[in-house]
């Protein structure tokens, strides 16, 4: 059964202390996350923004995805953002060596859905902080799923 936990809506309550949230096995080269006695393939944040700004601005979205990845210590391989025209919103993805960050936006509804999925030593909560800072949503909902949980 999949284990899902809800993270606090206020970013400052998410643990972003000095201790890394995960470690990789340098000898195995597996990039699995080892945290709180659990081993799993990646941390997947599912993020909903309501009332955000610039949700249909392709250049702004691309810049925000890059900044979020860099803040999380992730390696950007490629970014692609597609505009649907008019008020149709955008879909975009930053393909990372450590997984991805994606957005699907509906500016006409003042809504955007983001995925931040990362493995290894990346800090997905720092990507979240950048996205909140850039898009300035009036309301945020975040849940975290541990992907590939080793029993």
Q: Is 109 helix (H, G, I), strand (E, B) or coil?
A: helix
CA atoms within 13 A on the CB side of 90: 21
Q: Is 22 a catalytic residue?
A: no
Phi, psi of 49 (to 5 degrees): -115, 135
Residues 6+ apart with CB under 8 A from 121: 20, 22, 23, 24, 73
Candidate list 53, 67, 104, 141, residue with the active-site label: 104
Q: Is 122 a catalytic residue?
A: no
For every residue of 54-87, which 3-state class applies, written as one string? CCCCHHHHHHHHHHHHHHCCCCEEEEEEEECCCC
Candidate list 99, 100, 105, 122, residue with the active-site label: 99
Candidate list 44, 100, 119, 122, residue with the active-site label: 119
Provide the annotated active-site residues.
99, 104, 119
């Amino acid at each position: 059964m999949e284990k899902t936990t809800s993270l606090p809506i206020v970013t400052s309550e998410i643990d972003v202390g000095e201790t890394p949230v995960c470690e990789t096995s340098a000898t195995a080269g597996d990039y699995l996350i080892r945290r709180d006695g659990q081993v799993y393939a990646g941390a997947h944040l599912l993020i909903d923004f309501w009332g955000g700004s610039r949700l249909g601005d392709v250049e702004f979205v691309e810049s925000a995805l890059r900044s979020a990845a860099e803040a999380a210590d992730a390696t950007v391989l490629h970014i692609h953002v597609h505009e649907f025209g008019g008020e149709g919103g955008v879909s975009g993805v930053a393909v990372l060596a450590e997984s991805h960050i994606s957005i699907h936006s509906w500016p006409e509804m003042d809504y955007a859905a983001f995925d931040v999925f990362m493995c290894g030593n990346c800090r997905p909560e720092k990507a979240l902080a950048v996205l909140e800072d850039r898009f300035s949503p009036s309301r945020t909902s975040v849940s975290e799923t541990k992907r590939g949980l080793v029993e």
